[in-house]
Amino acid sequence: MAEEVDAEHEKWQKLNLGSKVKYVISNITVEPLLAFFIVSSVLGNLTTQNLNLQKSCRVNLNMSDAICTALEQRNKTNYSIDQEAKVQELVTDMTMWQSVIQHTIPCIFVIFVGSWSDRTRKRKPVLLLPIFGELVRVLGLLVCVFYFYELPMEIAGLVESVPGSLTGGWMIMFMGVFTYISDVTTVKMRTLRIGVLNLSLTIGISFGIALSGILYQKLGFYGIYSICSTLYFMGILYGFFCLKDIKNNDTPAVCEDSKFVKNSSFSTNVKEFFDLIHIKNAFRVTFKRGNDNRRLRILMMMVVLMIIMGPMTGEMSVMYLSTRIRFNWDEVDYSMFSTFTMVTGFIGTSISLWIFNHKLKMDDALIAAMACVSKVIGSFVFAFAPNTYIFYLGPVVEIIHGAGSIATRSIFTKLVTPEELGQVSAVVGVFEAFVPMIYVPMYSAFYKATMKTFPGAYFLLGGGLTIPAVFIFLWMHKGNKEREAREIENNKSEIVQKNSELTNDTIKIPKLYETSEKNNYENSGFKSD
């Protein structure tokens, strides 16, 4: 197996650029499915934020049509900052309890799904379930638009939260995607493949964001939600007919140990699926002791994953609202900036992967540390930007920030075996679930308290919270270097020992003979006593 891994990696190294592109295209698996999911999710996100703002203004607060229309059109002459703040305060309050609903159930559900996926080696249902939930969510939002004045903002908030929560949403989708990729790639190719997946993710998000503002102004709620539902349906078709679960030599053994039997009843399978022993096993497998502080390293990686994702999640939850107040942006202005941010991040991630990882062979932990430093510096630019032009410099300053999550996930896959990956990913998913549950309410409350005095203050909060990750990654890098040095020393010792054994086996010491003959004559000088 190791020879096959090295052969594939060596084959990749010898390919030219054109051949590498063909290789990547020919190995496409989950990328289209993820694209359908991501584009439609992002495309509808800005529309849903506007739906909440409109319902807050027109239905819950019952403001006049003139004021609400002025807020939509960003016509400052017909509304005051206080009126904008009241509308936003209502939305941010709803965002707090929404984040709890959206992530509490997946936090528990992801463990059962990950354990079941490992035991049965089935990844495809894990990928299809979140898309089905998102399709139900979009259809429900269409109903909320149709009954606009009859259904208040809170009902739309529940429709937005519950279906995705019950089916896992982004959390289950990403767990399924990364475990599937790990099944079909070798260890040496995994960083590159995960990088390609993240780049395709970036493209999908950029594409969805770029079109979201313009399409919303042109097509409105009905047009956007119709497009989203179509994309989700196409994703379900692609996943059902084009994706195949990976079978390997371990599958029969795994299936034998599993209590899942084809002829067993539905209730038996459901009972087995939700067996609490799987939660215990998932945490036991994840935090079991191993060589080189395995448990501590996994725990530290979970912490830094939360640190990296937290500010990003929190900032995204309030950024659109803050730019409306700071720069009087509308949905098109925000979508243009978001597109620029994603494209810049795409370029930075590509450079960091190609140069730092592929060419310079830098350690994943060191790349992640550099990414966190760029995030900390960029937070000051975002927070104190006096105008739009300076605000646009923020993504340039933190251009390699996206490499942090890629490197972290790559480190995770290298700390565990393929048989443990699903359960470990499930526990990681639990930690990820706590990110929006903690950071979204935190950022919403922080923004609500500072929106009138310093609406960019939440960026400084994110920069400060990211600093500990830098030191953790540097600690990881130091440990990796020490392990590499020990391995080199051990390899040298093994080589010396083998050479010594080889020398002893091949060089024979002549025995002392009773008599030695030379030219058929006795040589008394070689006689023994």
Q: Note the pLDDT of residue 20.
A: 62
Q: Which of 210-219, 308-317, 475-484 has the lowest mean pLDDT?
A: 475-484
Q: Note the pLDDT of residue 248.
A: 53
Placement of tokens 């059109």 in the chain: 73
Placement of tokens 């450079």 in the chain: 351
What is the average per-residue pLDDT within 44-66?
A: 94
What pLDDT, in 10s, does the model give residues 271-280? 666 667 767 7
Instruction: Name the residue type at position 213.
Output: G
First-to-last CA distance in the chain? 59
Q: Note the pLDDT of residue 254.
A: 42
Average pLDDT, the chain: 82
Q: Note the pLDDT of residue 509.
A: 52
Q: What are the residues facing 518 on neighbouring strands?
A: 521
What is the average per-residue pLDDT within 293-303?
A: 86
> Has residue 8 got a pLDDT over 60?
no
Q: Is the CB of residue 111 less than 8 Å from the CB of residue 426? A: yes
What pLDDT, in 10s, does the model give residues 377-417? 999 999 999 999 999 999 999 998 888 888 887 887 788 87
CA-to-CA distance for 407 and 412, rounded, in angstroms?
A: 9
Q: What are the residues facing 522 on neighbouring strands?
A: 517
CA-to-CA distance for 79 and 65, rounded, in angstroms?
A: 11
Q: Is the CB of residue 406 less than 8 Å from the CB of residue 194? A: yes
Can you tell me whether residue 518 is helix, strand or coil? strand
> Has residue 253 got a pLDDT over 50?
no
Q: At 439, list the tokens.
A: 């950071």
Q: Note the pLDDT of residue 355.
A: 85
| pLDDT band, residue 106 (cuts 50/70/90) | confident
| pLDDT band, residue 108 (cuts 50/70/90) | confident
Full 3-state SS string of 57-118: HHHHCCCCHHHHHHHHHCCHHHCCHHHHHHHHHHHHHHHHHHHHHHHHHHHHHHHHHHHHHH
> Has residue 249 got a pLDDT over 70?
no
| pLDDT band, residue 89 (cuts 50/70/90) | very high
Q: Note the pLDDT of residue 507.
A: 56
User: Which residues, 6+ apart, have CB-to-CB distance to 175 below 8 Å?
Assistant: 110, 113, 114, 126, 168, 422, 425, 426, 428, 429
Q: Note the pLDDT of residue 255.
A: 42
Q: Is the CB of residue 44 less than 8 Å from the CB of residue 138? A: yes
What is the average per-residue pLDDT within 188-210?
A: 75
What is the average per-residue pLDDT within 117-124?
A: 77
> Has residue 42 got a pLDDT over 50?
yes
Q: At 446, list the tokens.
A: 């922080």
> Has residue 258 got a pLDDT over 50?
no
> Has residue 265 got a pLDDT over 80?
no
H-assigned helices in 294-330: 294-326
Query: Pairing relation of β-strands 521-523 and 516-518?
Result: antiparallel
Q: Is the CB of residue 187 less than 8 Å from the CB of residue 5? A: yes
List for the chain the helix, strand, coil content (%; round to 5). 80, 0, 20
- The fold of 28-247+271-496 is Growth Hormone; Chain: A; (1.20.1250)
CA-to-CA distance for 461 and 303, rounded, in angstroms?
A: 17
Q: Is the CB of residue 400 less than 8 Å from the CB of residue 352? A: yes
DSSP letter, residue 513: P
What pLDDT, in 10s, does the model give residues 349-378? 888 878 887 788 888 889 999 999 999 999
What secondary structure does DSSP assign to 336-365, as a single string? Answer: HHHHHHHHHHHHHHHHIIIIIIIIS---HH
Q: Which residue has the higher pLDDT, 394 or 291?
A: 394
**With b meaning 16 or more CB within 10 Å and e meaning fewer, what string describes 91-124?**
bbbbbbebbebbbebbbebbbbbbbbbbbbbbbb
What is the average per-residue pLDDT within 420-448?
A: 83
Q: Give the helix/strand (H/E) hosting 460.
A: helix 457-506
Can you tell me whether residue 282 is helix, strand or coil? helix
H-assigned helices in 186-261: 187-242, 251-257
Q: At 209, list the tokens.
A: 């964001």
What pLDDT, in 10s, does the model give residues 442-472? 999 999 999 989 999 999 999 999 999 999 9
Q: Which of 261-270, 432-441, 460-469 has the lowest mean pLDDT?
A: 261-270
**What is the largest distance, in Å, between two alpha-carbon atoms of the chain?**
128
DSSP letter, residue 244: -
| pLDDT band, residue 251 (cuts 50/70/90) | very low
CA-to-CA distance for 292 and 289, rounded, in angstroms?
A: 9
What pLDDT, in 10s, does the model give residues 498-507? 777 666 665 5
Q: What are the sequence ranges of the domains in the chain?
A: 28-247+271-496
**CA 495 centroid distance within chain:** 41
CA-to-CA distance for 59 and 338, rounded, in angstroms?
A: 29
Q: Note the pLDDT of residue 64.
A: 92
Entry field: residues in the chain = 529
What pLDDT, in 10s, does the model give residues 149-167? 999 999 999 999 999 999 9
